[in-house]
A and B are shown apart, each in its own frame.
Chain A
Amino acid sequence: MFLQLERLTKSYSQRTVVDEVTLDIGAGEFVCLLGPSGCGKTTTLRMIGGFVTPDSGRVLIEGADMSRTPANVRPTSTVFQSYALFPHMNAIRNVAYGLRTQRVPRAQAEERAREMLAMVGLDARAGARVETLSGGEQQRLALARSLVVNPKVLLLDEPLSNLDAKLRERMRREIRIIQSRLGITTVHVTHDQEEALGIADRVVVMNEGRIEQVGTPREVYEQPATRFVASFIGRGSFIIDHDGAESFVRPEHVTLGRAGGGIAGTVSHVQFSGPVVTYFVDTAAGTLQCDVPLELDAAHEPGDPVVCQLRSRARLAS
C-alpha cells in the first residue's frame, strides 16, 4: 500500500475528534473523505500533511513511518480550503516557492512553475497579483503550487467549496483529469456527497471521527453499510422487513403500480422535479419514496391506493 493510516486518533480537550481511523490507499488512487461538517475530515487530512500530531496511530508513506516527520520535509502537499496563497507574491512566484525552498535556482524554478501554470491553464496570468485572480483561478493556482513540488501524496481540503455550482463541476473534472495524467495519489476531503461520488475511486464515509464505510462510489450508494451512510448519501427510505430487520431502498429502485404483488400503500404527497416525479407512499413498512421517470408517470394523486415493488434493497448493519 502506498499510503497507510493506522488507527489514527486525535482528541482536543477530552473530545475525540478522530477515532482509530485506519485506511490503506493504493498508488495513484483518488480517495474522498466524505462526511458532515465537524466529523474530523480536516483533522485527518492535517495529520497526513503533518500539521497535526496524532495522539496515537501512524501515517506511513511507501511503508515509511511519517508520523513524526515535520510538514516541511513530508512528501505531501496540501491545497487548503482557503487556498492560503501568499498574498505578497504574484502567481508565478507562488508556484515557484516550493521549488525555491528546495534550492532550485530561480530561473529553473520559474521555468517549471510556468509549465505547471500552463497545465492548469493559467499561463496568461503568471504575473498577476493573487487578489486580482478569480475564485476559480485562485483554486487552480493553489493546485499548481502544490503539484509543482512533485508530492507523493496530494491532499485537497474542500478545494471546490468556495466556487459557484457551475465552476465547481468543471473544476471537479479538471482536477480528476490532471490527477490521472500525473498518476498522483490523492486524498480529497469534502462534505458534498455528489462531489465525492463524482470524483473518487473510493469514498470513505466518516461520522463523528470514525469511518462508517469504505467503498467505490457505487458501493456506498447502492449498498450503504450503515443507517448513517444511507441517510447521508442520496435519498431513500428505511423500511422494516417482516423479520424486523431494517433495510434501505433508493427511490429509483421502487416501481409503482395500481395493482399486483408488492407492498400496498397510499400516495400521500407528490413532488415534481424535472426528469422524475417523486411519490411519497405510506405503507405498513414505513413511508416509501419512489421516483417515476417522467415518461412513465401515471399521474397518481394523493389518496390513490398504489402497490410498490422493490427491485433492490440494502440490508443495514444495526
Chain B
Amino acid sequence: MKRSTHDTDSTAASHEEGRSTWGAPLRAWTETGLQWAMLASLVVFILWPIVAVLRVGLIADGAPTLELIHAALTDSRGLLWNSVFVGVAATALTLFIAVNVALWATRSGSRLSKPLFGLLLLTMISPPFVTALSYVMLFGRRGLITHQLLGLSLNPYGWHGVVLMQGIGFTSLAAILLIGVLRGIDGRLEEASLDLGASRTSTIARVTLPLLVPGIAATSLITFVESLADFGTPIIIGGRFTVLATQAYLNFIGISNLPLAAGMAILLLVPSLIAFLLYRHFMGRLTFYTKGTGTTGEPMGLPRWLLVVTGTVTLLFSAFVTLQYVTIVFGAFATTWGVDFTPTLKHIQGLSSTAFASIGRSIRFAMFTAVVGSMLGMIVSYLLERRRFWGRSGLDFIATLPFMIPGPFLGIGYALAFRDAPLALTGTLAIVLLNMIYRQLPVATKAGAAVLSQADPEIEDAARDLGASEHRVITDVVFPQLKPAFLVGFVNTFTAGMVTIGAIIFLITPGTKVATIELFGAVRGGHIGVAAVLANIIMLVTLAVNVTFSWLMLRRGREERGVFDVPATRAIDQVIQSADGGR
C-alpha cells in the first residue's frame, strides 16, 4: 500500500514543483496533453464503436426498440442457446485437457515436458480454423481416418465436431497459462502439506488445486469468450448447426443486414458479460499466489494414479495435435486430398499472386500493429500505474474492454462507427490497423502494468535524483524495465494479427485482404491443398518472427524466462480483475 501511495505523491510533487523552472511547465503540458490524447483515442477507438453497435441494434427510427434483439432471440435455430452450449462444452473440454496437461508438464518430472511446452507454443499460434481444416481432412466425407482407413462415409458435420475442435484448439493457450500459474505456486506450501502428514493425493486436492483455482477461472473465461466469438469453426464444420457469431457474420457480409447483425452482436455480448460478472463475483479480489522468497526443492511429484491419468490425457492430446499438424503439412503436398495422395508442388506453385500479396500484407500489418500496439500499451500502463489524473480509472476500464468483447462485436462496431464523417474510414487501411491495435491493447497494457506494479518506483525516483528529466526517466529507466511486457505485447499482437480474423473480416476490402481471409476463403471453397499451403506459411512466418523477436529482446536476459510464463498469466488476470474499472 505504502508503495503505491508513495509514487502518486512523488508525481504530484513533480507536477507542482514543475512551475519554478522553464522546462517544467512545458513538460507538465506535454504530459497532460499525452494523457488527454490517450483518453481521447481510447474513447474514439474502443468506446465509440461499442456505442455504435448498441445504437444500431437498439434504436430504430429514432426510438429505442428490442425488435432486432427479439428477432435474433427467437430465430428458429436457437442461436443464443447454441452459442452458449458450444461455449460451455468447449470450455469444459479445454479445461479438462489443459489441467491434466499442465499438471503433467510441471509435476511429472519427465524430460518430455520441454518438448511438450514447445508443442503447446507452436499450436497456440495457429489460426482457429486450422483445426477445422484438419478436421475436414481427417474426419470429413473423404477424411483420411473415417473414409480411407475405416471405410466409412459419415456426415461428420454438426455440433460434436465444433465442440471437439474448439476444445482442442483452445487447449494450448489454456495449458500454457495454467503451467505459468502452477510454476508460480510456492512449492513450500506443498512441502508443508506433506510435512504435516498429508498424502500426495490430498496435497494435490487440498493445496495445489485450490491454488490453481484463480488460473482455472481466468482460463475458463478466456476460452468461453473465444468460443462465443468463433464463427469460423461452425461455418466450416458445423453443417446445419449454427451459432450467433456465424449468423452475425453472414448477415453482415452476406446479405448486409447491418441492424440484424448488430442485434446479434449485442446478444453475443450478453453471455460474455455474464461470464465476466460471475468471474468477478466469485473470484473477488483473489489474485494469483506467487512465489515467496526462499528456495524449494524439486516440485512435488504426482501420486501414481494421477501420473497415469494426466500422462494418458497428455499423450492423447499431443498425439492428436501432432496428427493435425502433420495432416496439414502433408495436405499442402497431396494432389487432391482424399482422392489422390500423389505428392505434388502444384498447390505451392499455383499460389495466386493475390494470395502472395495477402501474405505480405499480413506480415506488414501484424508487424506494424505489434510495434505500435505494444508501445501504446506501455504508455497506457505507465500512465495507469504511475500517474494520478482525472479519468484514470475510466481509462483503465476502457483499455480493458476489448478483452471481454467478442471479436465480431468490435469488428461490426468499427464498421458502423467509422462509416460517416468526421471519421469516415470505411474501406481504408487505417481502420484495419486501428482495429488490430486496439483490440489487442488490453494484453499489452496489463503486461506492462504487471511489470510496473512489481517494479520499485524508487528506482524512478533515483533517476530523477541523479538529474534525469521526466523524459529521461521514461527512456532510461521505465522502458528498459518494461521490456518483458513489451515482448508479451508484441508477440500477442503480432500473433493475433497473423492468425485471427474475428474482427477484421468485417473491415477488409480487396486492397487490405490478409492471408487469414484468403485462407478462410480457400477452406470454405473446399480448396484443401491451397488452404494447407497458406496455413503452413502463416504458421511458419508467425513462429519465425516470434522466435527471432524474443531472442533479440531476451538475448541479454537473465534466466530462461518463458515469454508466456507468469507475467502473461498475471497480465490476463489483471485484465479481468480490472474490467470493472475498480482496482
Name A residues whose Cβ lies closer than 8 Å to a Cβ of B: 12, 46, 49-53, 68-73, 76-78, 80-82, 84-88, 97-98, 101-102, 129, 131, 145-146, 149
Please determine whether B466 and A53 come into contact, CB atoms closer than 8 angstroms: no
3 closest Cβ pairs, A-B complex? A98-B466, A101-B467, A84-B458
Given A52-B9, A131-B558, A70:B462 Cβ within 8 A: no
Please determine whether A69 and B17 come into contact, CB atoms closer than 8 angstroms: yes
Known A71-B465, A86-B463, A86-B476; 13 more pairs at CB < 8 Å: A51-B10, A51-B461, A52-B9, A52-B10, A69-B20, A70-B464, A71-B464, A72-B469, A80-B462, A84-B456, A97-B466, A97-B476, A149-B466
Chain A residue numbers with a CB within 8 Å of B466 are: 72, 77, 97-98, 101, 145-146, 149
Chain A residue numbers with a CB within 8 Å of B476 are: 86, 97
- Nearest chain B CB to A15 CB, angstrom units: 12
- Nearest chain A CB to B550 CB, angstrom units: 17
**Is B193 interfacial (CB 8 A cutoff)?**
no
Please determine whether A72 and B477 come into contact, CB atoms closer than 8 angstroms: no
Chain B residue numbers with a CB within 8 Å of A12 are: 5, 9
**Is B77 interfacial (CB 8 A cutoff)?**
no
Chain B residue numbers with a CB within 8 Å of A82 are: 456, 458
Chain A residue numbers with a CB within 8 Å of B75 are: none
Please determine whether B13 and A72 come into contact, CB atoms closer than 8 angstroms: no
Given A51-B461, A82-B458, A97-B476, A149:B467 Cβ within 8 A: yes
Please determine whether A50 and B13 come into contact, CB atoms closer than 8 angstroms: yes
**Is B326 interfacial (CB 8 A cutoff)?**
no
Chain B residue numbers with a CB within 8 Å of A80 are: 458, 461-462
Residue of B nearest to A76 (CB): B465
Chain B residue numbers with a CB within 8 Å of A52 are: 9-10, 13
- Nearest chain A CB to B366 CB, angstrom units: 28
Residue of A nearest to B16 (CB): A53
Name B residues whose Cβ lies closer than 8 Å to a Cβ of A: 5, 9-10, 12-14, 16-21, 24, 456, 458-459, 461-469, 472, 476-477, 480-481, 483, 558
Counting chain A CB atoms within 10 Å of each CB, which of B459, B462, B466, B480 scores highest? B466
Please determine whether B18 and A78 come into contact, CB atoms closer than 8 angstroms: no
- Nearest chain A CB to B467 CB, angstrom units: 4
Please determine whether A70 and B18 come into contact, CB atoms closer than 8 angstroms: yes
Chain A interface, >50% SS class? loop
Please determine whether B464 and A51 come into contact, CB atoms closer than 8 angstroms: yes
Give complex CA distance A310, B14 in Å. 54
- Nearest chain B CB to A36 CB, angstrom units: 15
Chain B residue numbers with a CB within 8 Å of A50 are: 13, 17, 464-465
List 13 A-B residue pairs with CB atoms under 8 Å apart, sorted by A's residue number.
A50-B464, A68-B16, A70-B20, A71-B17, A71-B465, A77-B466, A78-B461, A84-B456, A86-B463, A88-B481, A97-B463, A101-B466, A146-B466
Please determine whether A53 and B464 come into contact, CB atoms closer than 8 angstroms: no
Please determine whether A68 and B20 come into contact, CB atoms closer than 8 angstroms: yes
Please determine whether B20 and A71 come into contact, CB atoms closer than 8 angstroms: no
Give complex CA distance A49, B134 in Å. 64
Chain A residue numbers with a CB within 8 Å of B465 are: 49-51, 71-72, 76-78, 146
Chain A residue numbers with a CB within 8 Å of B464 are: 50-51, 70-72
Given A77-B466, A101-B467, A149-B466, A51:B481 Cβ within 8 A: no
Give complex CA distance A149, B480 in Å. 23
- Nearest chain A CB to B388 CB, angstrom units: 13
Please determine whether A86 and B13 come into contact, CB atoms closer than 8 angstroms: no
Give complex CA distance A244, B469 in Å. 60
- Nearest chain B CB to A129 CB, angstrom units: 8
Given A50-B17, A68-B19, A149-B467, A84:B461 Cβ within 8 A: yes
Chain A residue numbers with a CB within 8 Å of B18 are: 70
Chain A residue numbers with a CB within 8 Å of B480 are: 86, 88
Please determine whether A86 and B462 come into contact, CB atoms closer than 8 angstroms: yes
Give complex CA distance A146, B467 in Å. 11
- Nearest chain A CB to B244 CB, angstrom units: 47
Counting chain B CB atoms within 10 Å of each CB, which of A12, A46, A102 scores highest? A46
Give complex CA distance A86, B461 in Å. 11
Give complex CA distance A52, B463 in Å. 15
Give complex CA distance A52, B464 in Å. 13
Chain B residue numbers with a CB within 8 Å of A131 are: 558
- Nearest chain A CB to B536 CB, angstrom units: 38
Which one of A85, A86, A88, A98 lies within 8 Å of B467 (CB-CB)? A98
- Nearest chain B CB to A75 CB, angstrom units: 10
Chain B residue numbers with a CB within 8 Å of A146 are: 465-466
